């Protein structure tokens, strides 16, 4: 997509934001915005902070539950037409493996998908060695757009095309709705006992870096507001170079994953047309600008497609590519999840293991991501706004 039309798309797709402002929705507003609103309504600034706390930490769903605010102020908000307006879970599909897929309803009636995976997914969360029994562990997979404009031809979300961007509140609201459903405690809020080990992966529907500002605002709401550690969040991009460059400038940010999916441009361009715009070398160069902190590593995601990119020569080429990049990185291998209307083959189990071994032999850390919730269409790349796959 040319830069000019990108702008146009963003403008049109951000329309719902204006709609929620008109609807006077509070959920999704930043602390500054809430403080300003308090002032406008003739209240002290700290009332804004209390709203912030109530929305994201206490996860209230209506104004009456904002008990820190005086009744009078709550009435004033309500009379002025303000509502909490957080997205709601309207449908749940439960997998035999404990994974749950949700349809989350937005203000305009559209739905988006969010997934809860108990015990992580063996990839992003799999290296966490702390498995004290007192902590519940789970990973929440969050969507950033309704549909997606990147046309990766192995992915079901791609088939939807892009319907619209999600607002910051719609992105963060998926998380608070799921946390509330599981009554989960995150961060180190005092007096709430041992926090659960909840990881967030922005790997649901959509390309987060095509909706950069809203995505980053949602990240801050979840970090400062909900109290989720930045190191427990990972955003995945298909390789939008200007997005990676902007991301590299952020002071506080989640971890970064890149959907590489091929060992060279020729194979990648066939399965990810975005490669023609931003070849692998450009992506690597942008990644070098991201300052990795402490033990942080980048993640290269690699979807294994039978005979397309899953052979030993591919693993060897990938190992060289990662090593030559000089980046501190690991590879997360994802077995392609099949579905109707997409003509790829799953890789053979022995090829998957051989691929991992080849990477490890070349001293590239490699993990195999466990497929989760296949029976309810909740696995990677299966998210498509649909109710057909009722479990
Ligand atoms: N748009 C972003 C994040 C969402 S996709 C991105 O592409 O990075 C999250 C991951 O799911 C990506 O690594 C993608 O390559 C992978 N994926 C997509 N379709 C898949 C499928 N059918 N089976 C397995 N993984 C898939
Ligand atoms: Fe979009 Fe990611 Fe699917 Fe590609 S893999 S179409 S970028 S959601």
Measured in Å, residue 236 CA sits from the centre of ligand 2 at 10
Q: In the prediction, which pLDDT does 375 show?
A: 78
Give the residue among 284, 266, 288 at the shortest CA–CA distance from 275: 266
Q: How many CA atoms lie within 13 A of 17 on its CB side?
A: 17
Residues 27 and 171 in one domain: no
Asked if 113 is an active-site residue, the reply is yes
Residues 107 and 125 in one domain: yes
Asked if 380 is an active-site residue, the reply is yes
DSSP 304-349: E-TTTT-SHHHHHHHHHHHHHHT--EEEEEEEPPP-TT----PPPH
Per-residue tokens: 167: 């607002």
Residues 78 and 226 in one domain: no
Other CB atoms within 10 A of residue 46 CB = 11
Pairing of strands 100-105, 88-94: antiparallel
Q: Is residue 252 part of a domain?
A: yes
- Return all residues near 292 (Cβ < 8 A) that are at least 6 apart: 298, 328
Phi and psi at residue 207, in whole multiples of 5°? -110, 105
Number of domains making up the chain:
2
Asked if 338 and 344 touch (Cβ cutoff 8 Å), the reply is yes
Q: Which of 85, 103, 121 is the last residue in one of the domains? A: 85
Domain of 69, in residue numbers:
23-85
Q: Per-residue confidence of the chain (391 residues) as pLDDT tens digits?
A: 333 344 334 434 455 555 555 679 999 999 999 999 999 999 999 999 999 999 999 999 999 999 999 999 999 999 999 999 999 999 999 999 999 999 999 988 899 999 999 985 555 444 444 444 567 899 999 999 999 999 999 998 999 899 999 999 999 999 999 999 999 988 754 445 568 899 999 999 999 999 999 999 999 999 999 999 999 999 999 999 999 999 999 999 999 999 999 999 999 999 999 999 999 999 999 999 999 998 999 999 999 999 999 999 999 999 999 999 999 999 999 999 887 889 999 999 999 999 999 999 999 999 998 878 777 777 776 766 454 443 3
Residues 102 and 154 in one domain: yes
- Return all residues near 54 (Cβ < 8 A) that are at least 6 apart: 60, 65, 66, 68, 69
What's 41's domain CATH number?
Answer: 1.10.150.530
Measured in Å, residue 148 CA sits from the centre of ligand 2 at 6
Phi and psi at residue 191, in whole multiples of 5°? 75, 10
Alpha carbon distances (Å) from 301 to 71, 138, 146, 203: 50, 20, 22, 11
What's 261's domain CATH number?
Answer: 3.20.20.70
What does the alpha-carbon distance between residue 304 and residue 336 come to, in Å, rounded to a whole number?
6
Residues 269 and 285 in one domain: yes
Measured in Å, residue 205 CA sits from the centre of ligand 2 at 7
Per-residue tokens: 71: 């009744």
Per-residue tokens: 355: 């691929």
The gap between the terminal CA atoms of the chain, to the nearest Å, is 37
Place of tokens 């912030």: 52
Measured in Å, residue 46 CA sits from the centre of ligand 2 at 41
In short, whether 155's Cβ falls inside 6 Å of ligand 2 is yes
In short, whether 148's Cβ falls inside 6 Å of ligand 2 is yes
Q: Which of 66, 85, 104 is the last residue in one of the domains? A: 85
From the CA of 157, give the closest atom in ligand 2. 3
What does the alpha-carbon distance between residue 341 and residue 255 come to, in Å, rounded to a whole number?
33
In short, whether 37's Cβ falls inside 6 Å of ligand 2 is no
Residues 93 and 218 in one domain: yes
Residues 246 and 346 in one domain: yes
In short, whether 145's Cβ falls inside 6 Å of ligand 1 is no
Give the residue among 237, 332, 314, 319 at the shortest CA–CA distance from 282: 237
């Amino acid at each position: 997509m040319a830069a000019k039309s990108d702008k146009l798309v963003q403008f049109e797709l951000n329309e719902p934001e204006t709609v929620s402002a008109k609807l006077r929705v509070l959920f999704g507003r930043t602390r500054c915005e809430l403080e300003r609103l308090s002032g406008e309504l003739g209240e002290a600034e700290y009332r804004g902070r209390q709203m912030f706390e109530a929305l994201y930490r206490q996860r209230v769903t209506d104004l009456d539950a904002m008990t820190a605010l005086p009744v009078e102020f709550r009435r004033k908000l309500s009379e002025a037409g303000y509502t909490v307006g957080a997205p709601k879970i309207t449908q749940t599909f439960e997998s035999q493996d404990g994974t749950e897929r949700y349809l989350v309803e937005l203000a305009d009636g559209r739905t988006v998908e969010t997934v809860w995976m108990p015990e992580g997914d063996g990839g992003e969360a799999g290296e966490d060695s702390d498995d004290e029994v007192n902590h519940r562990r789970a990973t929440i997979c969050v969507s950033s757009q309704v549909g997606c404009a990147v046309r990766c031809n192995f992915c079901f979300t791609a088939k939807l095309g892009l319907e619209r961007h999600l607002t910051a509140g719609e992105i963060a609201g998926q998380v608070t709705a799921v946390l509330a459903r599981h009554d989960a405690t995150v961060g180190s809020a005092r007096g709430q006992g041992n926090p659960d080990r909840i990881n967030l992966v922005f790997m649901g529907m959509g390309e987060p870096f095509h909706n950069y500002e809203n995505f980053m605002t949602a990240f801050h709401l979840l970090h400062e507001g909900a109290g989720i550690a930045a190191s427990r969040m990972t955003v995945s991009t298909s390789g939008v170079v200007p997005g990676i460059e902007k991301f590299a400038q952020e002071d506080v940010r989640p971890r970064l994953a890149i959907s590489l999916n091929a060992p060279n441009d020729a194979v990648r361009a066939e399965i990810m047309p975005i490669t023609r715009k931003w070849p692998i070398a450009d992506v690597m160069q942008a990644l070098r600008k991201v300052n990795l902190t402490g033990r942080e590593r980048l993640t290269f995601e690699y979807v294994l497609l039978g005979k397309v990119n899953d052979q030993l020569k591919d693993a060897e080429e990938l190992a060289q590519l990662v090593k030559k990049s000089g980046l501190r990185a690991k590879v997360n291998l994802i077995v392609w999840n099949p579905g109707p209307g997409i003509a790829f083959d799953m890789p053979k189990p022995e090829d998957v293991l051989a691929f991992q071994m080849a990477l490890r032999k070349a001293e590239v850390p490699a993990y195999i991501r466990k497929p989760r919730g296949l029976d309810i269409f909740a696995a990677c790349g299966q998210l498509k706004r649909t109710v057909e796959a009722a479990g």
